[in-house]
Structure 1
Amino acid sequence: MGEESSVLTVAADGDVRIVTLNRPDRLNGVSEALHRRLSEVWAELAEDPGAKAVVLTGAGRAFSAGGDFDHLLAHHTDAELRDRSIHRDRRIQTDMIRFPLPVVAAVNGPAVGLGCSLALACDLVLIAEDAYLADPHISVGLVAGDGGVTLWPLLTSLLRAKEYLFTGDRIPAAKAVEFGLANRTVPGENLMTEALALAHRLAAQPAEALQSTKMALAAVVESVSRGGMEAALMAERATMTNPDHIRIVNELADAAAARASARREA
């Protein structure tokens, strides 16, 4: 229960809500508890009568490094977990698209995998100068089902989306802006100040006009992306038990454990 309440925090700054991914010791990697909270928080915030805008960020030096290894490994043998994860991914994507309030991403460090998808699902993206985006789903043997197929083709060219989804290469902050995957870079020390200032500016806009415009844009996103989202989610579920994925994740987890052991002994 303690982890459930702490892995994602919501704080108020006047009529702006600050949502923070809060597993800094694991670079905000997505555990089952964090995945669950990400699938719940948007409906909760939509019912908050005092909220007019949201800032989404990560605690510590990362926005989110993607899936936590323990969580990924558990999917290999747990069919019910695979079903839950796909259901939650669908809900996260759909709820963020339909969320009525403006959301500003403050990408304070690496945004990888689901972390990248969360950032790009926001309405405006401010990214620290030393941060980067990456979606390495394919590189770890998974279909890019939790947002890459849904959103990237709407934000940048299809050719560019294919290049970076197929290779998993990192996209530095300045390139992310050039490619249309972020609005602007910000010095890291100024990131939250600028993100909050932007969120408060949006919160001060006439609420009905802003929210109705956002909902009209959401209808465009859904009409373009719905088929691709569902196909990608089903294909991602299938690849969760693919031998390539199992081998790669086990190798990566073993390497991470060896590095951690070496640091403890140093």
Structure 2
Amino acid sequence: MTATVTLHQDGAISVVTLNRPERLNAMNADLLRDLHAQLETAQADPATQVIVLTGAGRAFCAGDDLKDFGDQSDSPATVAQTCEDIQRVTRAIMGGPKLVIGAVHGYAVGGGFEWVLNCDMVVAADDLIAFFPEMQLGHFVTGGVTYLLPLALGHQRAMELMVLGERQTAQRLLDLGLVNRVVPAGDALPQALALARTVAERSPVATRLLKKALVGQSAALAAAMETERQNAMTCFANPDTAARIAASLPGKG
């Protein structure tokens, strides 16, 4: 069975790659579990100074795999586990000591967009399209974005991105300050690796302390993520959500 997430070492850099290209790296239970495990491995590896997070194939991550919604929501226990699995990936990205650099392209949708916002720095390909479909589908945003987006953009702009779910280009994300660099398609990973090598030259103690000071000790972020988890559970169990997702699948609606 092919691993849904791979990990390989490039000097002082651990490269974590979402590996469901046939599904545009959409999230299912296996990918969430494997991504958390690989991030935790990289965060704990003494030889790793920087982590690069990317996706195989045509997209970074197309969000939830809607074909699996029935499996994710068939009982209160599976709903609770799915919502917790989503949030612990964010904790592994933001709460770990190593800086995480995103190398993103194609689509970053829903939870994939959340993971982009969780990264410490982001190199985006110029073909990137990112958006939140949650409010249309009856889902709820996770990944701490109810805290992170208003902090970055202000209340009104954050609400616009989350409620309207309009597609954002890489250049628009750069203008908003949500990514660091925009590069030609195909160059995101090489440029992210180059950036990671520069970061790896910095003091590992100082950069880890900086990350901890900025996000690792944020009680407000932790509280927002718990509220998101509870709200996501409510939305998963809502019959309207199931109807909206069924209508969105190919051949439906």
Unaligned runs of 5+ in 1: 259-266
Deviation at 1:219, TM superposition (A): 4.0
Deviation at 1:238, TM superposition (A): 0.7
1:162-187 Cα offsets, whole Å, 9 max, x none, are 00100111111111011121112111
Partner SS, residue 188 of structure 1: coil
C-alpha contact (below 8 Å) 1:107/1:128 kept by paired residues = yes
| Distance in 2 between residues matched to 1:104 and 1:188, nearest whole Å | 17
- Counterpart of 2:245 (choices 227, 232, 249) is 249
| Distance in 2 between residues matched to 1:210 and 1:226, nearest whole Å | 21
Greater shift, 71-80 or 102-111, is seen at 71-80
| Distance in 1 between residues matched to 2:58 and 2:179, nearest whole Å | 19
| Distance in 2 between residues matched to 1:74 and 1:134, nearest whole Å | 24
| Distance in 1 between residues matched to 2:143 and 2:70, nearest whole Å | 17
Partner SS, residue 251 of structure 2: helix
* RMSD between aligned residues: 1.7
C-alpha contact (below 8 Å) 1:82/1:240 kept by paired residues = yes
| Distance in 2 between residues matched to 1:236 and 1:156, nearest whole Å | 23
Which residue of 1 is the match for residue 234 of structure 2?
238
Kindly indicate which of the two structures has a greater share of residues assigned to helix: 1
C-alpha contact (below 8 Å) 1:135/1:148 kept by paired residues = no
Which residue of 2 is the match for residue 76 of structure 1?
73
Greater shift, 85-94 or 102-111, is seen at 85-94
| Distance in 2 between residues matched to 1:240 and 1:127, nearest whole Å | 31
Deviation at 1:243, TM superposition (A): 2.1
1:178-214 Cα offsets, whole Å, 9 max, x none, are 1121112111122211110000111111111111111
| Distance in 1 between residues matched to 2:155 and 2:177, nearest whole Å | 12
1:73-104 Cα offsets, whole Å, 9 max, x none, are 32332322111112212322222221111111
| Distance in 1 between residues matched to 2:18 and 2:194, nearest whole Å | 20
Partner SS, residue 255 of structure 1: coil
Whichever residue aligns with residue 19 of structure 1, its letter is V
- Counterpart of 2:62 (choices 61, 65, 78) is 65
Alignment of 1:212 onto 2:209: yes
C-alpha contact (below 8 Å) 1:53/1:199 kept by paired residues = yes
C-alpha contact (below 8 Å) 1:73/1:250 kept by paired residues = no
Alignment of 1:38 onto 2:26: no
Partner SS, residue 9 of structure 2: strand
Greater shift, 163-172 or 141-150, is seen at 141-150
Partner SS, residue 142 of structure 2: coil
Greater shift, 166-175 or 93-102, is seen at 93-102
| Distance in 2 between residues matched to 1:122 and 1:84, nearest whole Å | 23
TM-score, reference length from structure 2: 0.94
TM-score, reference length from structure 1: 0.90
C-alpha contact (below 8 Å) 2:87/2:142 kept by paired residues = no
Partner SS, residue 101 of structure 2: strand
Deviation at 1:253, TM superposition (A): 2.2
| Distance in 2 between residues matched to 1:190 and 1:254, nearest whole Å | 32
